[in-house]
Structure 1
Amino acid sequence: MSLGPGAAEHLTPRAVEALRQAEVIVGYKTYIGLIEPLLHEKTVLSSGMRKEIDRCREAVQRALEGFRVALVSGGDAGIYGMAGLVFDVCQAEGVAVCDGSGQAKDSGEALAIEVIPGVPAFNAAASLLGAPLMHDFASISLSDHLTPWKVIERRLMAAAEADFVIALYNPRSATRPDLLDQARSVLLRSRSGKTPVGVVHKAMREGQRYWVTTLRNLVSADVDMQTVILVGNSQTYVWNGWMVTPRGYLEKYGS
């Protein structure tokens, strides 16, 4: 299930209901901390970074034992989240699951899975900046733990050349301090240095801060794994501190 940005007021009603119904809550310890007031009288299983597979296996095993389990994920579980890994684990380990309609494929017992959507990080970030995602956009993670840098670089080049607004996830960590600088260099091959860039840290959570800069002046030291960066396209502009990507309404219908 998806937590959205993390603050309780941005949880969907279905997510709150799923937490209420769950007997076992499984998740990354940082995300568990965001919903701690909702976890009374629950069995809570939390772990740190790089334990995603272990968490998925634990959640599946508890569900197979008959418990109602909520596997929590920040943002939207289907966008760089845990939803896909649950299906990967079930497929790899031969766990029978219901199909998309909730029906078992055969007459035997099957695990029922519900993917509960939430507000993804790029939506939360965009709402603070103004309206930077009003036109076509691409989302790219700079983490090279699971995706080779050459693949990431190729995707950055394609998105930049196609003039997409680009949402950058996982821009910098202690073990990857230079990847944002490398990504910036790639984007500058086909984007103006004056391109507006929005930087949002901990969107809609305690410690939130955000600002608008340019691609030329984007500084990697100011960001970390809890930061989302929105790089504008050739039409994106800044007005009164707001970052806006026009859809083209005024050009077509404004006369």
Structure 2
Amino acid sequence: MKLSVVGIGPGDKDYILPIAQQVLSEADIVIGYSYYFQFIEHLLKPGCECIGKELSEEEARAQLAVERCEDGKHVAVISSGDAGIYAMASLVYEYARLSANKDIELQTIPGISAFIASAGKLGAPLGHDFCCISLSDLMTPWSTIEKRILGAATGDFVTSIYNPRSKKRFWQLERFREIFLQHRSPDTPVAIIRQITRPAEQITLTTLEKMDTSLVDMFSLVMIGNSQTYTFQNFLVTPRGYLSRKPQTGQQIQDESFRQIQQQLKRTDLHPTDQWAVIRCIHSTADFEYENLYESSLEAMTQWNLYLKQGGTIVTDVTMVQAGITKAFTQQYKTQVICYLNDPRVEELSIQEELTRSQAAMRIATEEHPTALFVVGNAPTALFELCDQLIDQKIKPAGIIAAPVGFVNVVESKLKLKAIPTVPYVLIKGQKGGSNVAASIVNAAFTLDSFYQTDTGI
């Protein structure tokens, strides 16, 4: 005894797979929804017994199929589309399991599902990850269906909807649309495909926002694109990514990183030049808190861009800041980057004046380069020294980058600088900062022009 569950495709005879045609031509008994026999009657052998049931009698069909299995008989159960997708296969197998006394040879013959046939008509909507969701809550709790809808919406899946709407179940599709609009663009392409491959076939292209759910019935399939899907002529296309591969070169990776960071920024009060500095700080640290820690004065970044491109001098408190400033920039503009920390005079001055080495190094630096751009990425004592020199009007620097990091006197040194309104500064509030952050701000000042010239630029 043999029991086959056969997918007969979406309707048109040309969409019935050859293997399905062969199995149906061998069947002694065929059981299915009465409406479907019109699509396969030409394939059946003379004398084949056809048993038609109504749309809601799925269990009766499955039970009858198992009961009619006898030695030497081949029973076939037909399903539209693919028999394993929202169709009869699982139910037939369940009833076969309950009839353990029968040694039934089971097989499932695949068919072309409605969403596959629809995808062919639409061109290429399934070019990337996709899912199918049935909106029928007759046997699945609606709370479960909503979880699946939310997963599809937030996961950016191309989504095909089965059982989308009927006379009595009309609100489910509206609810689906409401959930998707919370997570997808209103312009997301949508296709309503009715009676696919059949004489009454009708395809309507619309958007998630403009979708008219009254056009949908139980003979329809609805397909919603993902965030990349676009319309082309009368087609829907979902790119696989061949023309937008992941960046591979160092420059491509850096540019894509900057783009992703910029998309996630939230502050609206930042000047574009400051936003660029914030992007560079986050890129260096992978810490988005720097967007809120960043503060500047007197259009500092714009001033420093001009200063550095004219060959200005940079003084740093530690060699790590010096190393972090891109050499290609300093070489291009002949900008000098100086750190006095290892100068032989520092140790003697620090002992004589009871200063830290960083503070002593900064005192020597201010005497020799009073108009430099001073960059502090480590030592709060170096920043305190700069503040004192400013108060005593001993220096008139191009500006100060204040990004010392740590726990002792770090916050206080930054607050002291902030209270001096006469100097352009960028400071990182609180205890965070570091050499990499300080260097990132300098590199941002060097590259303002190139930033504006890119697609990523503001």
Per the normalisation by structure 2, the TM-score is 0.51
Q: Is 1:143 aligned with 2:136?
A: yes
Task: Report deviation, 1:89.
Answer: 0.9
Task: Report deviation, 1:38.
Answer: 2.5
Secondary structure, in 3 states, of the residue corresponding to 1:153?
Answer: helix
Task: Report deviation, 1:36.
Answer: 2.5
Of 204-213 and 57-66, the range deviating more from structure 2:
57-66
Equivalent position amino acid for 2:36 in 1:
Y
Q: CA RMSD in A?
A: 1.5
Task: Report deviation, 1:252.
Answer: 2.3
- Structure 1: any 5+ residue segments left out of the alignment? 97-109
State the number of aligned residues.
241
Q: Is 1:178 aligned with 2:167?
A: no
Task: Report deviation, 1:66.
Answer: 4.1
Q: Paired residue for 1:12? A: 17
Q: What is the alpha-carbon distance in structure 2 between the residues aligned to residue 86 and residue 177 of structure 1? A: 29
Task: Report deviation, 1:52.
Answer: 0.5
Task: Report deviation, 1:10.
Answer: 1.0
Task: Report deviation, 1:220.
Answer: 1.2
Q: What is the alpha-carbon distance in structure 1 between the residues aligned to residue 76 and residue 101 of structure 2? A: 17
Q: What is the alpha-carbon distance in structure 2 between the residues aligned to residue 61 and residue 238 of structure 1? A: 50
The list of structure 1 runs, each at least 4 consecutive aligned residues, that deviate by more than 4 angstroms after superposition, is none
Distance 1:95 1:115, change over 3 A: farther
Q: Paired residue for 2:81? A: 75
Per the normalisation by structure 1, the TM-score is 0.91
Q: Is 1:129 aligned with 2:139?
A: no
Contact 2:96–2:104 (8 Å) recurs in 1: no
Cα deviation 1:26-78 (Å, max 9, x = unaligned): 00111122222233431100111110010011111111364211100110011
Cα deviation 1:6-33 (Å, max 9, x = unaligned): 2111111111111110011100111122
Contact 1:201–1:228 (8 Å) recurs in 2: yes
Q: Paired residue for 2:38? A: 33
Q: Paired residue for 2:242? A: 249
Equivalent position amino acid for 1:15 in 2:
A
Task: Report deviation, 1:200.
Answer: 0.5
Of 5-14 and 31-40, the range deviating more from structure 2:
31-40
Q: What is the alpha-carbon distance in structure 1 between the residues aligned to residue 54 and residue 222 of structure 2? A: 24
Greater relative contact order structure (CA < 8 Å, 6+ sep): 1
Q: Paired residue for 1:220? A: 213
Q: What is the alpha-carbon distance in structure 1 between the residues aligned to residue 137 and residue 199 of structure 2? A: 28
Q: Paired residue for 1:208? A: 201
Q: What is the alpha-carbon distance in structure 2 between the residues aligned to residue 28 and residue 19 of structure 1? A: 15
Q: What is the alpha-carbon distance in structure 2 between the residues aligned to residue 197 and residue 13 of structure 1? A: 32
Q: Paired residue for 1:193? A: 186
Task: Report deviation, 1:219.
Answer: 1.1
Q: Paired residue for 1:107? A: none
Q: What is the alpha-carbon distance in structure 1 between the residues aligned to residue 93 and residue 61 of structure 2? A: 13
Cα deviation 1:192-242 (Å, max 9, x = unaligned): 111000111111112101021000111111011111111000000011121
Q: Paired residue for 2:374? A: none
Sequence identity, in percent?
41
Secondary structure, in 3 states, of the residue corresponding to 1:181?
Answer: helix
Q: Is 1:154 aligned with 2:147?
A: yes
The structure whose Rg is larger is 2
Contact 1:236–1:244 (8 Å) recurs in 2: yes
Residue 120 of structure 1, aligned match among 105, 113, 118: 113
Q: Paired residue for 1:102? A: none
Secondary structure, in 3 states, of the residue corresponding to 1:63?
Answer: coil
Q: Paired residue for 2:268? A: none
Of 38-47 and 132-141, the range deviating more from structure 2:
38-47
Q: Paired residue for 2:390? A: none
Residue 66 of structure 2, aligned match among 51, 60, 63: 60
Task: Report deviation, 1:120.
Answer: 0.8
Contact 1:141–1:169 (8 Å) recurs in 2: yes
